[in-house]
């Protein structure tokens, strides 16, 4: 029986474990295995040669080619991955090189690859998608023998993700979306090539136009741009949402990094979304849903609840976790479309509230409105010592939506007045729960009364807002040499998942000085994602100033002075915890360069002192002379 070479044994082992057809590789020296069917199963399997036995060395080029139908895309997912890692970049040694954006099923030495994988399963992105109907990856090993076992995974052929809209002629990703054009009131829209990585240097526009009596609701189900906690002001890839038909409209959304289930609602019938890609390493992008929803409202006559509206579910895609209040003896739905501010209270207030009752108050804004709630009176029945988290007693509970889930901000009970609150988006819920009937022989609790407002200034009354930011404020020295600024909703709890910018612009030659009087920003230095920290960031530029560290915790920063006539302060909170934030004073002052101040030399000082002494002596002599003269007389 003739002996087989290493290459022949390798290919024989592949034949034993892989359902593929063997073809000649396009590139010289490569062999290719082709997967073009899952044999009517949900997915197919692929493995490295000899899996799970360690793979051979000197595999120069083995191409795994996956080919779907014209209207399909390819998904591959590595379930196991173990390749010897000889360098951080994986460009030498053993690696898998991925080609995701191919026009056809062939690759050569000029084909651009998207990423290179090596190491262990925790070192790699496990799932990858093609932008077309073909995906290819190259498996390469060098001369070093190893005990690494290679990889195994699954592949699927999926229907291509297509935006439900009208693609403008001559554009790659500019869409007009309206009920007249699409003949639908809801749908989906995506970043280009989603769920494969979007291309570099691309700008996409999505223009939504509803009928006059409708509003536009969009829900970003998933955003995967860059990983990290960079400010959106500094992120190369961003999503901007404008409350109108074009970029001259107010910005109500500035999204970056990674996020899920971010809901935005227009104030009128139009909305404009712009996606920018400028990074060298594009992410997966975004998938989002839209719906055109009727904004028709009704007015209900009630003194404490002046305006209410019935909020219905808009689409299967855009159901919020904050459910509308059910009709009953208390609670209600409050919409900014009917009233920007008002009062709500426990049932019967200021008389004692009934027992065994549950009331739900839902607040729904639009645009970049936030819900701000200020309790003016608070008196709930407390039969014993205040329990942890107010469990098991009468309480008021406040909820917001975080990543598509209903999250509790805080529970309040007893007689202590709650802190001022603000939502992280246009919606908020307050639930009042009275578990037991009050003791008729004891003091009766009257419940609570609270004011609500839908605000667009984030609680920064009187500050000039920056039109190019969702939460941005500009302070100019010609408009005021000094003043104060604070975190949103100060002195109450700042909202979660919020980013605000404060821009200071002095005259030429001026510097801004900032002194903090209060600082309570949740986090642990160095105030990064790893420590789940909110932070305050300072910069002499619009971009990151790496010489100034971030600040968080309760220790107030020392006096801050800008290097020039421009300075930026950024506040960014995550979606986990909150605090009372910060309050600070600013002062624009002319800058005096020490190098321009002439120092008086020691020699000149002695001369001046001598001249002064001589003059004093002459003055004393003159006075004594005149005194003697008058004595003589």
**332-365 confidence digits (pLDDT tens):** 999 999 999 999 999 999 999 998 899 999 999 9
Indicate left, alpha or beta for 424 from its phi (over 0: left) and psi (-120 to 50: alpha). alpha
Strand extents, DSSP E, 84-183: 95-99, 115-117, 119-120, 127-129, 134-140, 150-159, 166-167, 174-177
What is the percent of the chain with per-residue pLDDT over 90, rounded to a whole number? 67
CATH 2.60.120.290 in the chain is located at 6-159, 166-294, 332-455, 464-590
Q: Which CATH class is domain 166-294?
A: mainly beta
Q: Please say if the pLDDT value at position 592 is more than 90.
A: no
pLDDT score recorded for residue 10: 44
Residue 399 confidence class, pLDDT cut points 50, 70, 90: very high
Q: Which CATH class is domain 464-590?
A: mainly beta
Q: Please say if the pLDDT value at position 512 is more than 90.
A: yes
Edge-to-edge order in the sheet of strand 405-412? 332-335, 357-364, 427-434, 395-402, 405-412
**Diameter of the chain measured on Cα atoms:** 149
Chain centre to alpha carbon of residue 233: 11
If you average pLDDT over residues 550-571, what whole number do you get? 95
If you average pLDDT over residues 270-293, what whole number do you get? 94
Query: Which residue would you say has higher pLDDT here, 22 or 461?
Result: 461
Cα-Cα-Cα-Cα torsion 81, 87, 93, 94, nearest 10 degrees, comes to 10
Cβ atoms 360, 322 nearer than 8 A? no
Q: Which CATH class is domain 332-455?
A: mainly beta
Q: Please say if the pLDDT value at position 12 is more than 60.
A: no
Distance CA 344, CA 523 (A): 34
Q: Please say if the pLDDT value at position 598 is more than 80.
A: no
Q: Please say if the pLDDT value at position 307 is more than 80.
A: no
Distance CA 582, CA 536 (A): 9
**Three state DSSP letters for 84-95:** CCCCCCCCCCCE
pLDDT score recorded for residue 310: 29
Chain centre to alpha carbon of residue 210: 27
Q: Please say if the pLDDT value at position 469 is more than 80.
A: yes
Tens of pLDDT along 241-256? 999 999 999 999 999 9
Architecture of domain 6-159 in this structure: Sandwich (2.60)
> What does the mean pLDDT of the chain come to?
85
DSSP string, 100-113: ---SSS---TTPPP
Distance CA 425, CA 402 (A): 9
Q: Which are the contacts of 207, defined by CB distance < 8 A and separation ≥ 6?
A: 174, 175, 176, 177, 245, 246, 270, 271, 272, 273
140-149, 322-331, 576-585, range with the lowest pLDDT: 322-331
Could you tell me the end-to-end alpha-carbon distance of the chain, in angstroms, rounded to an integer? 149
Measuring CA to CA, which residue among 287, 289, 293, 321 is closest to residue 309? 293
Distance CA 460, CA 370 (A): 12
Chain centre to alpha carbon of residue 166: 29
- How many alpha carbons lie under 13 Å from residue 629 in its C-beta half-sphere? 6
> Which one-letter DSSP state was computed for residue 551?
B
Residue 13 confidence class, pLDDT cut points 50, 70, 90: very low
Distance CA 557, CA 569 (A): 12
pLDDT score recorded for residue 316: 39
Distance CA 210, CA 232 (A): 29
Q: Please say if the pLDDT value at position 436 is more than 80.
A: no
pLDDT score recorded for residue 389: 81
pLDDT score recorded for residue 388: 78
Measuring CA to CA, which residue among 556, 584, 557, 472 is closest to residue 548? 557
Cβ atoms 202, 173 nearer than 8 A? yes
pLDDT score recorded for residue 276: 95
Measuring CA to CA, which residue among 443, 390, 440, 392 is closest to residue 418? 390
Tens of pLDDT along 122-176? 999 999 999 999 999 999 999 999 999 999 999 999 999 999 999 999 999 999 9
pLDDT score recorded for residue 2: 44
Q: Please say if the pLDDT value at position 432 is more than 90.
A: yes
Tens of pLDDT along 62-103? 999 999 998 899 999 999 999 999 888 898 899 999 999 998
If you average pLDDT over residues 263-269, what whole number do you get? 94
């Amino acid at each position: 029986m003739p002996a087989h070479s290493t290459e022949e044994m390798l290919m024989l082992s592949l034949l034993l474990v892989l359902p593929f057809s063997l073809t000649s590789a396009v590139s010289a020296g490569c062999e290719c295995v082709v997967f073009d069917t899952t044999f009517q199963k949900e997915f197919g399997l692929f493995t490295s040669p000899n899996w799970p036995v360690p793979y051979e060395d000197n595999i120069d080029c083995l191409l795994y080619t996956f080919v779907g139908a014209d209207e399909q895309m390819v998904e591959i997912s590595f379930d196991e991955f173990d390749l010897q890692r000889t360098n951080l970049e994986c460009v030498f040694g053993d690696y898998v090189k991925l080609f995701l954006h191919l026009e056809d099923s062939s690759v050569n030495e000029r084909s651009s690859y998207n990423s290179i994988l090596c190491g262990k399963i925790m070192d790699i992105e496990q799932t990858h998608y093609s932008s077309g109907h073909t995906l290819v990856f190259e498996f390469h090993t060098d001369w070093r023998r190893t005990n690494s076992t290679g990889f195994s995974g699954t592949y699927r052929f999926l229907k291509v993700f297509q935006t439900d809209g009208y693609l403008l002629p001559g554009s790659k990703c500019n869409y007009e979306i309206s009920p007249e054009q699409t003949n639908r009131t809801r749908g989906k829209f995506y970043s280009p090539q989603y769920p494969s990585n979007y291309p570099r240097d691309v700008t996409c526009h999505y223009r939504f136009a509803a009928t006059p009596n409708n509003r536009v609701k969009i829900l970003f189900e998933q955003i995967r741009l860059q990983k990290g906690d960079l400010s959106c002001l500094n992120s190369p890839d961003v999503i901007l949402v404008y409350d109108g038909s074009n970029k001259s409209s107010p910005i109500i959304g500035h999204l970056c990094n990674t996020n899920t289930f971010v809901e935005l609602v227009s104030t009128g019938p139009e909305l404009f979304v712009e996606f920018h890609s400028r990074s060298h390493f594009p992410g997966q992008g975004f998938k989002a849903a839209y719906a055109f929803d009727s904004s028709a409202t009704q007015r209900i006559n009630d003194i404490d609840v002046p305006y209410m509206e019935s909020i219905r579910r808009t689409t299967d895609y855009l159901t919020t976790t904050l459910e509308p209040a059910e009709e009953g003896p208390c609670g209600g739905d409050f919409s900014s479309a009917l009233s920007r501010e008002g009062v709500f209270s426990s049932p019967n207030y200021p008389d004692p509230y009934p027992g065994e009752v549950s009331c739900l108050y839902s607040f729904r804004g639009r645009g970049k409105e936030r819900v701000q709630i200020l309790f003016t009176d608070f008196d709930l029945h407390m039969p014993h010592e205040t329990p942890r988290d107010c469990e098991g007693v009468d309480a008021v509970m406040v909820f917001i939506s975080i990543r598509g889930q209903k999250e509790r901000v805080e529970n309040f009970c007893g007689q202590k007045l709650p802190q001022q609150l603000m939502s992280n988006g246009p919606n908020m819920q307050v639930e009042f729960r009275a578990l037991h009937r009050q003791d008729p022989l004891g003091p009766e609790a009257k419940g609570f009364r609270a004011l609500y407002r839908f605000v667009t200034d984030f609680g920064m009354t009187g500050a000039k807002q920056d039109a190019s930011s969702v939460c941005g404020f500009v302070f100019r020295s010609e408009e005021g040499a000094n003043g104060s600024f604070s975190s949103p909703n100060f002195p109450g709890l700042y909202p979660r998942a919020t980013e605000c910018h404060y821009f200071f612009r002095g005259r030429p030659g001026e510097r801004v000085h900032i002194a903090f009087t209060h600082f309570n920003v949740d986090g642990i230095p160095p105030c990064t994602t790893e420590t789940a920290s909110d932070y305050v960031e300072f910069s002499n530029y619009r971009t990151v100033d790496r010489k100034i560290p971030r600040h968080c915790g309760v220790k107030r920063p020392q006096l801050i002075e800008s290097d020039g006539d421009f300075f930026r302060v950024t506040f960014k909170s995550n979606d986990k915890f909150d605090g009372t934030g910060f309050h600070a004073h600013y002062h624009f002052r002319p800058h005096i360069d020490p190098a321009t101040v002439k120092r008086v030399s020691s020699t000149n000082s002695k001369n001046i002192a001598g001249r002064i002494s001589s003059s004093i002596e002459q003055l004393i002599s003159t006075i004594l002379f005149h005194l003697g003269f008058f004595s003589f007389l």
